Structure formats: structure tokens, C-alpha cells
Amino acid sequence: MVDDTDDLRMDLAAIRGVKIAFDVSLAGISRWAIGGPARAVVSAVTAEGVEQTLRTMRDRRDPFLVVGETSNLLFDSEGFDGVILRVGRGFDHCEIQETTVRAEAGISIPQLARLTADAGLSGLEHTVGIPGTLGGLVTMNGGSQRRGIGSHVGRVVYIDSDGRRGELSQEECRFAYRRSVLQEMNVVVVEVDLNLDRADAAVVHRSMDAVVESRRSRFPEHLPNCGSTFLSDPEMYATVGPPGRAIEDVGLKGFRRGGAQISEQHANFIVNTGGATSDDVLWLIAKIRRDVMQATGFAMDCEVRYVNKQGEVSAAHEAAQQRWPGGTSGGDSLPAHA
């Protein structure tokens, strides 16, 4: 059982450096436009606000989750019985000195990329079209064109679950393809130093424009989605190709369940055509993974994380497997591929 709402409201109201909203529709903040109500959303505008929120929630029994711009999250359609700390808009200060960029974790990636281009700095061109925040991108070592932002990270400042600050060097972050040690730590990234390279601003802007145009032509942007659903495995890439090609090769491009559809533009995207539920998305993930496994021998893992009603976070393919082990769940079986 969680504490009553009045106690929660009083505890959250005592926190400085945050904005608080209660009974928030997660569909309204989800890039997938999917999710039921959350009990409260706390939006941090200062690092001190993050510290105080973490200390407050440490001493409570409510489910608690930290998010950025939700660019890799699938919320449950039943909602979330707890408090969400959102590190995003309002927590986005950035300073540039010579070739070093120091930015707060809530700054949007496209904004940061354009600011560095304006300053005549190169290194973030591949990130310019990626939705989300710096903290989330660094945690996942995200990027595009099979590159990761970790190669330009000099220092990461974080706050742990007790509200204490710490920092990691690039080496200590142990960056690998779409991985970092930050994913294993119960911490919130609040600030990042990036080491970039001098370049001609006009050249960097042209490179970024080309990346954005390429994404617009290849990726669905007119319907809610969470970006790439499945991770690209190097071994699979070398023999079968990227996830989108594998999904298309088994004939699933355009396949749908309810309001969720495997994009007709890029098969590694699942889009919400209207009214999609978390179950619709997870069901499609289960089917994609099974059909591609049968055809290629490779089991694709998800880049997307699923958040259940209790705030437990897992890879979406693991959640899908739990619901449809072996491809069936009572009368809701996965159809054989035609």
C-alpha cells in the first residue's frame, strides 16, 4: 500500500526547484501517445530539485520512476501507481568554452546539436535528428549511423538514490554499443561534459541538414512512435542486415494489431495509428521477434523499455515474452505468418 494522496501532496510541495502535476495522463507525455494516468509527475528545473525529490521518494513507499523525454519508453495503458521524476524541459542550461561543452541533462538532443554547430564544433552531427534528452542519450550511449555519443563524453555528473552527487570519467562509464555502466546504476544524470572538435560551422550545419533530411525520408514522423524498436546486433547485421530489413523480409511491414502498426515506411518502427494500447505494441513485438527468429535464427532484442503499472522497467521483448510465451496467451495467440 502507498501513503495517502494528502501526505504525498504535502511531501512533494516541500520540494524546491520542481514543478508538480497530479493525475497526469502518460499518453500526453509519451512519444508513443500510450499510457494511463500517473499519480504525480515532478518536473525538475534544477539539480537541487532532483536531489530533494530523490531524498523525498527514498523515504516513501510509492513506486518511483525517473524519465527524460520518454523517447525509448512504453508506458502501460493501465497507468502508473506512483511518482515520475521528469528531467527535461527547464533543466537545459548549456555552456561552451573552446571545444568543451557543459550541458544539463534535460537539454534536447537536436537543440544541443544545433548549438554546437553554431559554435563551430563537430562531433554531434549524427545525433541531430534523435528525439530525447542528453541524460538519456548518454545513459544509453545513443546515436545514429552506428555511432554513440560516448566517444565524446568527458565527464558525467549524477545524483544517486540518496540525493548524493558523484561523477564518472569517460573510462568509468564503460561505453559500448548502446550500453554504459549508468544503466546498471540507480542514479540520475544531471550534467555532462562533451569534448568536441573544431570545424567550419557552415560545413557542420550542412552535415546536420543532410542527416535530418535522410531521417525524414526514411523514418515515420507523422505518427507517434518511439524510434527504433529493436537493437541492431553486429553479427546479425553482417549476415542478415539491420532489424528493419529482417522484419520486412518476413513480410511484416504494415502488419498491425489494434491501433499499433509496423510502419510501412520503416519496419523497425511501430507507430500508433490511433488508440493503440501497450498490449498492442507488446503483441507486435512478440510476433516480430518470433517470426524473425524462425526465419533467420537470430533473436532480436528491444531498444525500447516497458514500464508496468508498478513502475518496474524491463526490455520490451522480455515483457512481451512473459505475456505470450511460445507465441500464445490463452485465446490471444500469435497468428502464423502467411
Supply the residues annotated as catalytic.
178, 228, 303
> CA 289 to CA 322: how far, in whole Å?
13
Q: Is the backbone of residue 143 left (phi > 0), alpha (psi -120 to 50) or beta?
A: left
Cβ contact 250:291 at 8 Å: yes
Cβ contact 74:307 at 8 Å: yes
> CA 76 to CA 80: how far, in whole Å?
7
Please report, in angstroms and rounded to a whole number, the separation of the first and last CA atoms in the chain. 47
Cβ contact 302:315 at 8 Å: yes
- β-strand 270-272 against 260-262: which pairing, if any? antiparallel
Cβ contact 136:226 at 8 Å: no
Provide DSSP, 24-93: EEGGGT-TT----EEEEEEEESSHHHHHHHHHHHHTS-S-EEEESS-TTEEE-TT-EEEEEEEE-TT---
